[in-house]
Chains A and B, each alone.
Chain A
Amino acid sequence: MIKMLNVSKKYNNGVIAVANMNLNIKRGDFVFLVGPSGAGKSTFIKMLLKEENPTSGHVVVDDLDITKLHRRKVPELRRKIGVVFQDFRLLPNKTVYENIAFAMEITETKPRDIRKHVPMVLSIVGLADKQKMYPDQLSGGEQQRVSIARAIINNPPILIADEPTGNLDPETSREIMKLLLQINRRGTTVLMATHDKEIVDLMKQRVIAIEKGRVVRDELGGKYGYAD
């Protein structure tokens, strides 16, 4: 699903964020991306979304080499990847329903399909009764659920979560993880960058550790491996 072939990224200011990285994430995998700040996790995610281009090497997403992808094809790529952020990034002046519907409107879905799909996704994330509320009326966990619902509404084969539990308490974090695992079981490849040791150790999934732009560890059922 996601392949990195000899990928390096050097920024214009000389910082080498990713150095000769090779990775293979298969369809349906659940992968934790761990490592200290500045290790290259963000650059890695940005390259998947084609926000940044690798200096050398190839990035393959869903059997498509995106290294040479034309600018006009980038939206198509991003529709294959749902993204969840630490700060939720919901639109404050739209209701829960509208926030999710927004993602479908953007991809020019028929209104009839929007009306059908939004409640379905809301019930998956357990917010069926809160669709008329605004983001500031929700708890952090609920807001993150909305953002997950928005990320999966267009049924992307890949879900990237960039520290989705970073702003949440442990209890809520576990709830969010349950939800992500549930989404993964439906066939979505999930890639989650995190600093949350407890979560990683609890989930026993594949862990890829990055340091100084290199993969230093890649193990199934792995541990967080850092002393926090």
Chain B
Amino acid sequence: MRINSFGYNIKECFKNLWRNRMMSVASISSVAATLVILGIIFVLIVNISAMTQVAKDQFDTIQVYLDDDLAIDGIEEIGTKMIQLQGVQDVIFEAKEEALEKMKLDWDQNGYLLDGLESNPLPNSYIIVLDDINYANYIVNTIQDYDGIEEVKYYQEVIENIIKITDVIRKVGLMIMVILIAISTFIISNTIKIAVHSRRREINIMKYVGATNWFIRGPFLLEGVVLGLLGAILSSVVIYFAYKYSYDAIMEQFYMFISAYLIRAQVIIKDVVFLFVIIGSGIGALGSLASLRKYLDV
């Protein structure tokens, strides 16, 4: 296609879209709806991933509580055994007195309540700093078999649950996406079919004069891509404002508690637009090629 015919094609394309505006609107809306749902899934996954990362960083320690009647030799023995385990970066001992002090500090103004205790109910403990979170399970299982261990605490479940939820969202999202993309592609292909039909005389003449298939396809492909892109723009706007609104609402409700882990709208929208433009134009191109395959071939 020559450069100077490109302007002509653009003009023709919008003229056709306007002529079949009902179908155009249907196509754009279906692409936009598909992309909005994709956007919601995307935003959820991105945010949950970010939160998982934060959680992983915070929970990369294992608490090992020791039996109260364990002698000092036993405590030291456990300590040396643990530091040699694979994936352990550091082992910190926290005596029961230290733990109580810490608790008092944590309780702040109510700390005096703890003064009334006759004996210290807190156990001696070790805190294991992990080198690699993937060894967590192995470490926890090994330590649990040692003598003199009261309890091993690790926030594994929290992390596993988050990962599980992310996985479910991702899988369900993917399924919904595939279905919606198929529907949008189908609707676009119908719109293009109408465009092809209304220009069949022209196409027929083009064929006889020896136009290459791509030359004939070009304008229709352009039409499909334009429909997809318009859908992408529409859904980008929807996602941006919806996300910004939700973000602000969460900020107001929970303040820093959760929102510290949320990604700001201005940051996420760049990825969203990029993703939408690619998928939108992809759906458009796919839809028009699908209809052209049937209707243009000699």
Chain A residues in the interface with B (C-beta under 8 A): 49-51, 71-72, 74-79, 83, 89, 91, 102-103, 105-108, 111, 150, 154
Docked CA distance A102–B206 (Å): 8
Expressed in whole angstroms, the minimum distance between the Cβ of A164 and any Cβ of chain B is: 14
**Cross-chain contact B210 with A106 (CB below 8 angstroms):** yes
Judging by beta carbons under 8 Å apart, are A102 and B208 in contact? no
CB of B202 closer than 8 Å to a CB of A? yes
Instruction: Say whether A75 contacts B210, CB under 8 Å.
Output: yes
- Which residues in window 1-23 of B have CB below 8 A to A? 1-2, 4-5
Query: A residues within 8 A CB of B202?
Result: 91
Report Cα–Cα, A105/B206, bound state, in Å. Answer: 10
Q: How far is the CA of A150 from the CA of B205 in the complex (A)?
A: 10
CB proximity of B113 to chain A, nearest CB, Å: 87
Given A51-B298, A108-B2, A91 contacting B201 (CB threshold 8 A): yes
Is B215 interfacial (CB 8 A cutoff)? Answer: yes
Interface: B237 (CB within 8 A)? no
B207 within 8 A of A: yes
User: Would A150 and B209 count as touching, CB distance under 8 A?
Assistant: yes
CB distance from B209 to the nearest CB of A (A): 4
**Do residues A106 and B204 form an inter-chain contact, with CB atoms below 8 A?**
no
Across the two chains, which residue of chain B brings its CB closest to A153?
Answer: B209
Inter-chain contact A106/B209, CB cutoff 8 Å: yes
* Nearest chain B CB to A134 CB, angstrom units: 14
Q: Given A51-B298, A75-B212, are A89 and B207 neighbors across the interface (CB < 8 Å)?
A: no
Interface contacts beyond A49-B208, A106-B206: sample of 14 additional A-B pairs, CB < 8 Å, sorted by A: A71-B213, A72-B212, A75-B210, A79-B209, A79-B210, A83-B208, A89-B204, A89-B208, A105-B5, A106-B211, A107-B210, A108-B1, A108-B215, A150-B209
State how many angstroms separate the Cβ of B285 from the closest Cβ of chain A.
20
> Complex: how many Å from CA A63 to CA B159?
74
Q: How far is the CA of A17 from the CA of B4 in the complex (A)?
A: 44
The size class of the interface chain B forms with chain A is: 10 to 19
Closest Cβ–Cβ distance, residue B1 to chain A (whole Å): 8
B residues near A (Cβ < 8 Å) are 1-2, 4-5, 201-202, 204-213, 215, 298
Contact, CB under 8 Å: A75 / B205: no
Q: How many Å from the CB of B284 to the closest CB on chain A? A: 24
Q: CA separation between A102 and B207, bound complex, in Å?
A: 12
Chain A residues whose C-beta falls within 8 Å of the C-beta of B209 in the assembled complex: 78-79, 102-103, 106-107, 150, 154
> Known interface pairs A51-B298, A105-B5, A111-B4. Does A78 touch B208 (Cβ–Cβ under 8 Å)?
yes
| Alpha-carbon distance A51/B298, docked complex (angstroms) | 6
Q: Which residues of A contact B208 (CB under 8 A)?
A: 49, 78, 83, 89
Question: Once bound together, how far apart are the Cα atoms of A105 and B201, in whole Å?
Answer: 16
Q: Are A75 and B201 in contact (CB under 8 A)?
A: no
Instruction: List 8 A-B pairs, Cβ < 8 Å.
Output: A50-B298, A74-B298, A77-B210, A89-B201, A102-B205, A103-B205, A106-B210, A111-B4
Interchain CA distance A76-B206 in the complex, whole Å: 13
Q: How far is the CB of A191 from chain B (nearest CB, A)?
A: 15
Residues of B within 8 A of A74 (CB): 298
C-alpha spacing A111/B4, complex, angstroms: 9
Report the Cα distance A72→B217, complex, angstroms: 14
Q: State in angstroms the CA–CA spacing of A76 and B211 once bound together.
A: 8
Residue in A49, A50, A106, A150 with the greatest tally of chain B CB atoms within 10 Å: A106
Q: How far is the CA of A225 from the CA of B127 in the complex (A)?
A: 109
> A45 → chain B, closest Cβ, in Å?
11
Give complex CA distance A225, B98 in Å: 120
Shortest distance from the beta carbon of B12 to any chain A beta carbon, whole Å: 11
Q: How far is the CB of B111 from chain A (nearest CB, A)?
A: 84
* Distance (whole angstroms) from the CB of B110 to the closest CB of chain A: 83
Contact B211 A107, beta carbon cutoff 8 Å: yes
The CA-CA distance from A75 to B216 in the complex, in Å, is: 11
B-side contacts of A51, CB under 8 Å: 298
Asked if residues B210 and A76 are in contact (CB atoms below 8 Å), the reply is yes
CB B10 to nearest CB in A, in angstroms, measures 15
The distance from the CB of A188 to the nearest CB of chain B, in whole angstroms, is 16
Chain B residues with CB below 8 A from A77, complex form: 210
Q: Determine which of B4, B201, B215, B298 lies in contact with A106 in the assembled complex, contact meaning CB atoms within 8 Å.
A: B215
